[in-house]
Structure formats: C-alpha cells, structure tokens
Amino acid sequence: MAGNTYGTIFRVTTFGESHGEGLGVIIDGCPAGTDIDIQKIQDALDRRRPGAGVNGIKSASVTSRNEPDKAEILSGIFNGKAEGTPIAIVIRNTSQHSSDYSNLAETFRPGHADFTYSEKYGIRDYRGGGRASGRETAARVAAGAVARMILEQKNIKTTAYTLKAAGIKCNKIDFLEIEQNSLRAPDNQAAALMEQKIDEFRRNGDSAGGIIECIVKGVPAGLGEPVFDKLDAELAKAMLSVGAVKGIEFGAGFSAADLSGSVNNDRMHAENGKAVFDTNNAGGILGGISNGNDIVFRVAVKPVPSIFQAQNTVSRKDGVYESTELQIKGRHDVCLCPRIVPVIEAMTDIVLTDMLLRN
C-alpha cells in the first residue's frame, strides 16, 4: 500500500489499524532545536479521542468507545527539543471490541471502504475498517500538534469549528464558544439545536453530517508553490485525504459561481504603505499563493456510514457476490463534526508547516 506519507520537507507518515495493537506516526523534517511540549501533543489527542466529549461535555454524537490515546514518544525529542531526527509517536489501542465486526468478514458495509479495499488488495482488515478507519486520524493529530509548535513561532494560528451539523447552521461566529458546547460550534444556541437533532438521529439508528469551517490567521503572503503545488491544492488534498470529507471550498467557494467579477474580485487599497484587501472572497489564496489575508475554507463531512438500521448490501462466498441484508453492531459516532474539528486543524497545520519550510 502506497500513499501513507504526506509532505515534501515536513514529512508525515502514519501507520497502524483501528483494531491492531496500535497506530502511530513518524515525523521527518522537524527543524532541530524546535521547542516541543509533549503535553501539547497529548492535549491535541485528548480533543480528538473517542468517548471524551468536549471539555467533559458528552454528546449524543460521539461513540462510547473510550480510548486513553496516550502518546508514547519513541524518538526525536530530547530535553524538550526536536533533535532534527525522525520523531516517532505510538498510540496504543486498548478498547477495541473486534468481536463486534465478526459478521463482516465476507459482508460489505454500505458507505465504507470495505468493497473497494477488497477489490484492490484482495484482503482487508474487517475489524473496524483497518487503515480506512477514522481512528487513523489520531496519528495525524499528533503530527499536527508538532506542526503547530513550529507555526506558533511565526504567530500563525489555525481555528476550525462546526459551522453546520444535522441541517442546523450557526448564526454567529464566536471563537470563545467553540469549546463551550458538545459540537465545537462557535454558537452555543445553535449547538444546542444541533445536539437535539443529532439525538433524534441516534434514537432512530441513523446518523448526520455537517460542515466544518477553518480560519487561519497570521499567514504571510508568499506561501505556496505555483502550478501543481498550489497552497489551496495542497490543502484540498490534505482535507480530502480525511475519510469523511467529501468536498471543500475556499472563501466565497461555490457561491462565487453566481457572482459577477466586479463583486467577486477582492479589491485592494494602500494603507501605511502596504496593500490591504477590502474583501476576502478568494479565501486568502491567489494563484495558489497566500496573499496575507486570513485563509478561509469549509469542508463537507458526510454522515457516519455505520448506522443501526438494516441495509441492503452484498456478501461474498467463493468469489461470488450475493445480495444480503446487514445490521451493523458496535460503538459508532452519530455525527463526526466535533471530533473531526481537531483533525482539520492538524492537517491544515501540517500543510502550512511544510509550505513554510519549503519557502
């Protein structure tokens, strides 16, 4: 299997499966001497980990699987500093219930990668999806925490949040409220309505999707490589590499298709000898290069495919597919939005760090 590494200078390689002994990440290219706070790596993992909720606020949206997600630092950090050598981090699995998946050995779950993995490789880890499991993102979050420490030196700050979930959208954006509710939404009132709707989905054995918005402040003009390695192209690749993400838009996004050029263009004026943009329909990126504005993008998160309703699917016996019905068991999220927020931040920080070092 190829494609387990991202980055040109700041290179991140993840490994492991959802129901194996553990998973982890190797980070190559972290500059020697970078201050590394191991507690910040653990704090990042705690925000993503299953069963944790948001600041102790439990949600109907999250799985009951409860993993400590303890980061074990194997190499690359000495006395709180990056050595410049590969940083290896391992996260052990301790709460996997593989028996919940015994009925999936030859039956394929709708909405999952079971069928495509089987067709491509001829073998698959049906216990929780193996490499295709959302649990793989824990390794990305650990790497993202290291990347964030590099970006902090440049005063670059990434903030993601649930803009919409279960069909309910935020009416305001208040960063202070993001960690005050179970959905990581910047609007406590909207979050309460989201929670009610998600609980309704849960009681019906169904699931919900949503939209995550991400804003990056402090990015200087000049990040990004024109043509194939455009900053927005790299961010899009990173976001779409997250299994649950099915779409991305920058700035005005798809609504730009209904605007005129005179409205969509971000006009400029000079202020104290510097260029200032009047609007930010481009989302902070022009020609694949950051323009100094805030980087703004949104990703669409699909509904969790593991639902507790009977579904039509296929099973395979002796290489022949037959129609069947499947009732999924186990512990699953109902809406991924609150747990995917730290993943979006981590992938953004990984891309920006790599671009920063390439500059």
The binding site for NADP(+) consists of 48
- The residues, any chain, with a CB within 8 Å of residue 263's CB and separated by 6 or more, are none
CA dihedral 204, 207, 209, 214 (to 10 degrees): 110
The answer to whether the beta carbons of residues 271 and 326 sit under 8 Å apart is no
Strand order in the sheet with 5-6: 5-6, 11-16, 22-28, 87-92, 71-75
Could you give the residue ranges of the DSSP H alpha helices within the chain? 38-48, 114-121, 137-152, 188-203, 231-240, 261-264, 337-358
Tokens of 352: 């920006």
Provide the annotated binding site.
Answer: 48, 131-133, 287, 302-306, 331
What angle (nearest 5°) sits at the alpha carbon of residue 25, between those of residues 20 and 31? Answer: 170
Q: Which positions make up the binding site for FMN? A: 131-133, 287, 302-306, 331
Alpha helices in 153-243, H assignment, sequence order: 188-203, 231-240
Q: How far apart are CA 88 and CA 127, in angstroms?
A: 25
Angstrom distance (rounded) from CA 190 to CA 201: 17
Q: For the residues of 304-326, what is the DSSP string, one character each?
A: PS--SS-EEEEEEETTEEEEEEE
State both tokens at 208: 């919900």
- Count of beta carbons in the 10 Å neighbourhood of residue 36: 22
Give the amino acid at 95: S
Residue 224 in tokens = 């990004």
Report how far residue 350's alpha carbon sits from residue 332's, in angstroms, rounded to the nearest whole number: 27
